[in-house]
Amino acid sequence: MSAVMITRKVRKWEKLPGKNTFCCDGRVMMARQKGVFYLTLFLIVGTCSLFFAFECPYLAVHLSPSVPVFAIVLFFFVIAMLLRTSFSDPGVLPRALPEEATFIEMEIEAANGNVPAGQRAPPRIRNVQINNQIVKLKYCYTCKIFRPPRASHCSICDNCVDRFDHHCPWVGNCVGKRNYRYFYMFTLSLSLLTIYIFTFDIVHVVMRSVDKGFLNTLKETPGTYPFRLWPHKQLLCG
């Protein structure tokens, strides 16, 4: 009996030469430096958890039940936009195959001619006509391709990204053509959530101060716990 060898087809994301990490069969794509992303997730979840645990029960009873409901909806929307921005392909441009790179190099050498020793080679630029306008395409020495307009090479992910805006360590990914709208919605909704929590924190303190006084309200607020422990630290240090 002859053994039948079954070879698995290699996916494109498994051969990507950049510095990205993949999981969930290539559906999730992130940069290798993910520490700041986890910090971002921890700060958002931690801050909102304190708000839901201490401020929302009081505000729901004494002000309106819609306060925590809207905060929960906004919180999940922020998390969804963060994960979508972080796990999406920002618009990575495929690199040239070895035979394609060799052909492009031969074209460039034929166009530029022999460069004398000691002189700098001219920039590798290709002029393309788009909508009756001449557009200059810059050559990427790493990916061996002429990049489209507004594309750039990310030194952290080591990929050319279409409509590259910047590499954001807070989301752990590049921001480009395919995830820019999610990044915009994330920053917008996060700003709204921050203002919302800060506003109702003040409302919570003011409403409680009417009954218990301002100092007693601050003592019952989780944010003042480090300051309440400060005298004890001074005693231990003394």
Q: Per residue in 37-78, pLDDT tens?
A: 999 999 999 989 988 988 888 889 988 899 999 999 999 999
Range of weakest confidence among 23-27, 36-40, 144-148 = 23-27
- What are the residue numbers of the active site? 168
CA 130 to chain centre: 32
Instruction: Collect all residues with Cβ–Cβ distance below 8 Å to 114 and sequence separation of at least 6.
Output: none
Q: Which helix (H) or strand (E) holds 135?
A: strand 133-140
- Give me the percent of the chain exceeding a pLDDT of 90: 30
Judge whether 155 and 31 are in contact, CB under 8 Å: no
Judge whether 72 and 15 are in contact, CB under 8 Å: no
Q: Give CA–CA dist 158/17, Å, rounded.
A: 8
What tokens were used for 9? Answer: 């087809």
Q: Give CA–CA dist 67/3, Å, rounded.
A: 66
Residue 122's region, left for phi above 0, alpha for psi from -120 to 50, else beta, is beta
Residue 14 pLDDT class (50, 70, 90 cuts):
low
Q: Model-level pTM?
A: 0.77
Helix 35-50 to helix 180-212 angle (10° resolution) is 30
- pLDDT for residue 224 is more than 80: no
